[in-house]
Amino acid sequence: MRAVLVVNPQATATTPGGRDVLAHALASQVKLDVVETEHRGHAMAVARAAARDQVDLVVAHGGDGTVNEVVNGLLADSAGSADSAGSESRPGGYRQAPMLGVVPGGSANVFARALGLPSDPVEATYRLLHALEQGSARQVGLGLADHRWFTFNAGMGWDADVVAGVEKRRGKRTSPSLYARTAVSCYLRPPQGRPALTVHVPGEEPAEVRTAFVSNTDPWSYLGTRPVHLNTDCSFDTGLGLFALRALGPVTVLRHLYQALKTRSRHRGKQLVRRDDLSLICVTAEVPVNLQVDGDLVGQRTRVEFRSVPGALTVAI
């Protein structure tokens, strides 16, 4: 088996020693190449080259941003097919893409946690080795925001503004307090104001909202060790979850924040637009607003189609 290990040395929990242990362990079972990323987009380029070279396995060692780049590289030549073919088709490119392995090395590691992987990199390494020995793998569904794949969440509005704010402030280290402070700051002083978004779901009347969260699994994210639940019925085996708020008044925000931090709470509220197991969601805006996928800022958009793509990725687990 041929494999490529992609390491982000800037990720929160990655170290040279941990990288060497991981590389040595993997090299005992596969023919391995190791690449350390040097800039944003590097992991995506490495994974895309590995897919075109028909490598069997690509292992991402880093945070959710690294995993997202690797996934987008592995499926780079399939995104257009999914866009045109619809969410229920699986073009051959998916089956031909290399298998993904994940060894967490970030601060949140939402995708790895959702898969049930250990947070400790050494434990995760041995879990991966065991999966390779046993031939154990899982097909997971992904989301597609226009041509950008996401593994656990995406959003337009408030949460994307928070991601943009954190990216301006962060160094290598991030913390729940940094996200919390930035969320409060963006709420009190929205960097782009609060432009209206229109959510379009097939078969329903459009809904005007102020922020829109799209989930590919549950939890939506983590605040430190505490999971944040928005669409509790969402999983890698279902369609996308939609959680949108028509207004962002203090009472509404505090109510849903409280519900989000409860154990698998089901949200209720007059200002809430919530749907589960959707194959397609379209969000439009009259002015450009921020878009984030898997906690990374993509840029500003006035229209985004979010599609569910079942069984898009094979993960060693």
Residue 305 phi/psi, 5-degree rounding, is -100, 125
Ranges of CATH 2.60.200.40 domains, the chain: 153-310
- Check residue 307 and report its DSSP letter: E
In CATH, the number for domain 2-135 is 3.40.50.10330
Kindly give the residue spans of alpha helices, DSSP state H, lying in the chain.
16-27, 42-52, 64-74, 79-85, 92-96, 110-114, 121-134, 158-169, 176-188, 250-261
Ranges of CATH 3.40.50.10330 domains, the chain: 2-135
User: Predicted confidence band at 173 (pLDDT cuts at 50, 70, 90)?
Assistant: low
Residue reference for tokens 């069997």? 56
Query: 180: helix, coil or strand?
Result: helix
Q: Which CATH number fits domain 153-310: 3.30.2350.10, 2.40.110.10, 3.10.50.40, 2.60.200.40?
A: 2.60.200.40
Question: Taking all residues of the chain, what is their mean pLDDT, rounded to a whole number?
Answer: 92
pTM: 0.93
Taking only the tens place, the pLDDT of each residue in 135-154 is: 999 999 999 999 999 999 99
Cα separation, 70 vs 64, in Å, equals 10
Cα separation, 68 vs 47, in Å, equals 11
Residue type, 180: A
Percent of the chain, pLDDT > 70? 93
Q: What is the pLDDT of residue 89?
A: 37
Contact between residue 73 and residue 51 where contact means Cβ atoms under 8 Å apart: yes
pLDDT higher than 60, residue 85: no
